[in-house]
Amino acid sequence: MRSSIMNKLIIYVLLLLGVLFTVAPFYWMVIGSTNPTDEILSYPPKFLPGDFIAENLKRLMGSVDIWKALLNSSIITITFTILAGIVSAAAGFTFAKYHFRGKKIIFAMFILSMMIPYQALVIPQFNLFANFGLLNTHIAVILPQLTYPFAIFLIMQNMKSIPDSLLESARIDGAGEIFIFVRIALPTMIPALAAVSIFLFTFQWNNFLWPLVSLITKDMYTLPVALATIANQDTIDYGQLMLGATISVIPIFIIFLFMQRYFVAGILGGAIKE
């Protein structure tokens, strides 16, 4: 009995430490957004919010076109999430429920692509988009990752929980493949699709390297690229930088807050199979 209580106490302490280490940087970021740089860098540090947020916002808007960058990020991320979600759903369903020549090889190539450092693909990808005249466009940022391997894998695992007999019964009743996908498979994969959408949204919203390379003019910058221009200045204004980072985190926090139930269900959806 005593040993059991001690084990629980150790687990709770470790979990509490994990939460503190996770939340502390976000708390410091929010606090920093309300203080000037000299107070952020002062010692001992101040852990209470200040009254400098309006000035930080004014300086941030003077340094970069934050609202234009926010609009660019929103357009790119929402479009990417919808298109990549559709591609992932169709590809995951195909890999899970259809048998065709070369299926294992194609799927292995998808999985192996996850192991290739993205930095190794930047130059060939840049040359490809330059040849097609697509640099400095939203399309250049959206297209490269539409076939997101992890999203396809997660949907495929979820689709394996659907009995093949259900699909065969629909075919016997005269249902076509598109009807089966839209009316039977798609409603079943909604929790997994919600989880995938969170992954896709977060990935593209925080995407930095490729937008930095492919977007040339400031009016096309996404939020991470715009904030990076502040960090690259000779004198870094940490107050406005932390305010920009806080603004960039808010959409992800809101989406996860409202979709966390579907996120957990989607991740666990492939664990139960027929």
Question: What are the pLDDT digits (tens) for 164-215?
Answer: 888 888 888 888 888 888 888 888 888 888 889 988 999 999 999 999 999 9
Give every CB contact of residue 31 below 8 A, 6+ residues apart in sequence.
46, 47, 48, 49, 50
Question: Is 11 inside a domain boundary?
Answer: no
* Structure confidence at residue 2 as a pLDDT band (50, 70, 90): low
pLDDT at 273 over 60: no
What is the signed CA dihedral for 172, 174, 178, 184, rounded to 10 degrees? -60
pLDDT at 270 over 60: no
What pLDDT score was predicted for residue 256? 82
* Structure confidence at residue 268 as a pLDDT band (50, 70, 90): low
Span 232-254, pLDDT tens digits: 777 788 899 999 999 999 998 88
Listed range (17-21, 41-45, 75-79, 221-225) with the worst mean pLDDT = 41-45
pTM, 2 dp: 0.86
What pLDDT score was predicted for residue 202? 92
Question: Is 46 inside a domain boundary?
Answer: no
What pLDDT score was predicted for residue 42? 84
Question: Is 31 inside a domain boundary?
Answer: no
What pLDDT score was predicted for residue 272? 46
Print the domain residue range for 218: 57-271
Q: What is the CATH number of the domain that holds 89?
A: 1.10.3720.10
Question: Is 255 inside a domain boundary?
Answer: yes
Question: Is 149 inside a domain boundary?
Answer: yes
Question: Is 23 inside a domain boundary?
Answer: no
Q: In this structure, what DSSP letter does residue 143 have?
A: G
Task: Assign residue 136 a region (left: φ > 0; alpha: ψ between -120 and 50; beta: otherwise).
Answer: left
What pLDDT score was predicted for residue 237? 87
pLDDT at 129 over 50: yes
* Higher local confidence (pLDDT), 184 or 270: 184
Q: How far is CA 257 from CA 79, 224, 246, 263, in A?
A: 21, 22, 16, 10
Which residue carries 């959206």 as its tokens? 142
Span 130-176, pLDDT tens digits: 999 999 999 999 999 898 888 998 898 888 888 888 888 888 888 88
pLDDT at 87 over 90: yes
pLDDT at 84 over 90: yes
Residues 262 and 85: beta-carbon distance below 8 Å: no
Task: Name the domain count of the chain.
Answer: 1
Question: Is 28 inside a domain boundary?
Answer: no
Question: Is 29 inside a domain boundary?
Answer: no
